[in-house]
Amino acid sequence: MYFRFAWVIMVSFIALPHKSMASETRKGILNASPTKCVALNQGRTCYADVIFDISAPTAGDYCLRESESKRILQCWANTDSFTYTLNFGSVESVSYELIAKTHRDVLAVTTIEVNWVHKVRTKKRRWRLF
């Protein structure tokens, strides 16, 4: 019975990443992978290597930047497709946008969601039995 229960847990666990991966493969102008970063506890910095895959409709000059701070991550000249790897680290979700360099028009936005597993941080952890 223990084995059967364990199998249900294991199968669910194996199946889970596939579902989230499927949603990440939809193509657009600005695609990020992964789009979710999971930390152990609320308030802790979550780290991930996020790959931005950009496919612009026409060749041109583009920049990738943080939506809120407007901080430019990188710009590309006279091209329509490029990738960028971000060493992501944040305690909260962050949005990124692709802009056309000349007019500063926002062409696409994507968000890296920061989630956490534990709502309750164990204050005490006492030693166990012998």
* Site for other proteins, rule CB under 8 A: 2-3, 5-6, 9-10, 12-13, 16-17, 20, 36-40, 44, 46-48, 115-120, 122-130
Q: CB 86 → other proteins: shortest distance, Å?
A: 14
Q: CB 89 → other proteins: shortest distance, Å?
A: 8
Residue nearer to other proteins on the CB measure, 56 or 86: 86
CA 62 – CA 104 distance, rounded (Å): 9
Q: CB 74 → other proteins: shortest distance, Å?
A: 23
Residue nearer to other proteins on the CB measure, 46 or 86: 46
CA 9 – CA 13 distance, rounded (Å): 6
Q: How far is CA 27 from CA 24, 39, 50, 91, 115, in A?
A: 8, 26, 16, 27, 23
CA 124 – CA 76 distance, rounded (Å): 51
Residue nearer to other proteins on the CB measure, 2 or 25: 2
